[in-house]
Amino acid sequence: MEPMAMPQIPGYRIEKIIGKGAMSTVYLAIRESLGRPVALKVLTPKLAADPTFHKRFIKEGRIIAKLGHPHIVLTWDAGSNEDIYYIAMEYLEAGTLKERIKAGLTPEQAVNILCQIAQALDYAHRQNCIHRDIKPANILFRNPEVAVLSDFGIAKNLEDKTQLTAAGWRLGTPNYMSPEQALGKPVDSRCDLYSLGIVFYEMLTGTRPYQGADAFEIALMHVKGPIPTLPEPLRRFQPVLDRLLAKHPEARFASGEELAQAVQSVAMTAPAPVGPDRSVWQQARPWILAALLAGLVALLTYSFWPVTIVTSP
């Protein structure tokens, strides 16, 4: 099998493939005018021939270019050359959240990442942009401490009335899809918060809450399945999760900022004690200390008690 030919785009020297999906391939490239490494996202040739897809791809570039936020990927350039459609974005080499979850995250790390992406979504939503595909693979890292939201390929600008999707066609990833997305209903910014809730559960536990044999079964669980329960050491986050994963959008957080404030408030409270009930320990503590003190006195008394030596006549 012959290796796939690299696309030729003036001004860019393509080095290698760094990611591949159904709609596009992402290359590591050098922007020759600046010598800057970039992530060059190129629409798959088969889709580039379809006006619906290349219009959506161009729309993605325009959406990201307008979203200037510390936790949203930066866009340097977008365009086309001989039916090759591309978007040049900042190259983020600190990995994805998907990889971080596999390695394991502390609750503190999960909360920090959640708040950063919630802030990014809050900003995007105020610009009338809904992401619609929040998942660990679309959350990258600029450095170990800074999470960045990427891949606005199916994002929707609420001000743009152009219909680029067939009516009722479900957009998103089934494992992270809100109930309204699964049902093909109209969505608003709260669908992103639901998906972020699924990501939060996965960051805390290492597993996804809803799993099934196929995409249909998973989607059905999002619609009808019970809200998952966190294990006891993480139970303090349950009220936040309950609101994030509410089946009806009206019961969820109204904004990313409200979510960030709520989870930070919970994170500042000490986790519940693990082990015996604290009240029982507090009641028994004086008696335990008294017993230890009595034992110490007895030991000292025995050590210094005068000893009578009896000698034989």
| CA gap 62, 54 in Å, rounded | 13
| CA gap 26, 43 in Å, rounded | 9
Residue linked to tokens 């998906």? 195
- Contacts of 228-237 with C-beta under 8 Å, sequence gap 24+, read 228/201, 230/201, 230/204, 230/205, 231/205, 232/272, 232/274, 233/271, 233/272, 233/274, 234/107, 234/204, 234/205, 235/272, 236/266, 236/269, 236/271, 236/272, 237/107, 237/200, 237/204, 237/263, 237/266
Determine the pLDDT at residue 141.
Answer: 97
Render the burial of 88-112: b for 16+ CB within 10 Å, e for the rest: bbbbbeeebbeebbeeebeeebbbb
Determine the pLDDT at residue 171.
Answer: 54
Give the tokens for residue 108: 């503190």
* Strand positions, DSSP E, the chain: 12-20, 24-31, 36-43, 75-81, 84-90, 129-130, 139-143, 146-149, 156-157
- What are the two backbone dihedrals, phi and then psi, of residue 253, each rounded to the nearest 5 degrees? -60, 145
Q: Domain ranges in the chain? A: 12-90, 97-267
Determine the pLDDT at residue 290.
Answer: 57
Report the DSSP beta bridge partners of residue 37: 30
3-class secondary-structure state, position 19: strand
Report the DSSP beta bridge partners of residue 28: 16, 39
Assess if CATH 3.30.200.20 describes domain 12-90: yes
Residues 38-74 have pLDDT tens digits of 999 999 888 888 888 878 888 888 888 889 999 999 9
Fold agreement (12-90, 97-267): no
Residues 87-146 have pLDDT tens digits of 999 999 899 999 999 999 999 999 999 999 999 999 999 999 999 999 999 999 999 999
Longest dimension (CA), the chain: 123
Q: pLDDT > 90: what percent of the chain?
A: 59
Determine the pLDDT at residue 167.
Answer: 37
- Given a cut of 50, is residue 150 above it in pLDDT? yes
Task: Pick the more confident residue, 62 or 84.
Answer: 84
Q: How crowded is residue 72: how many other Cβ atoms within 10 Å of its Cβ?
A: 21
- What is the CATH number assigned to the segment(s) 97-267? 1.10.510.10
Give the tokens for residue 42: 């190129």
Q: How confident is the model at residue 294 (pLDDT cuts 50, 70, 90)?
A: low
Contact 148, 158 (CB under 8 A): no
Give the tokens for residue 144: 């170990």
Hey, which residues are catalytic here? 133
| CA gap 180, 163 in Å, rounded | 18
Q: Which residues are annotated as a binding site for ATP?
A: 41
Q: Residue 277 burial (CB < 10 Å; 0-12/13-18/19+)?
A: exposed
Mean of the per-residue pLDDT values of the chain: 84
3-class secondary-structure state, position 25: strand
Determine the pLDDT at residue 310.
Answer: 40
Q: Which residues are annotated as a binding site?
A: 41
- Given a cut of 50, is residue 279 above it in pLDDT? no
Q: What is the pTM of this model?
A: 0.80
Residues 235-267 have pLDDT tens digits of 999 999 999 999 999 999 999 999 999 999 998
Residue linked to tokens 């600046």? 34
| CA gap 162, 200 in Å, rounded | 32
- Strands 129-130, 139-143: pairing is unpaired
- Given a cut of 50, is residue 170 above it in pLDDT? no
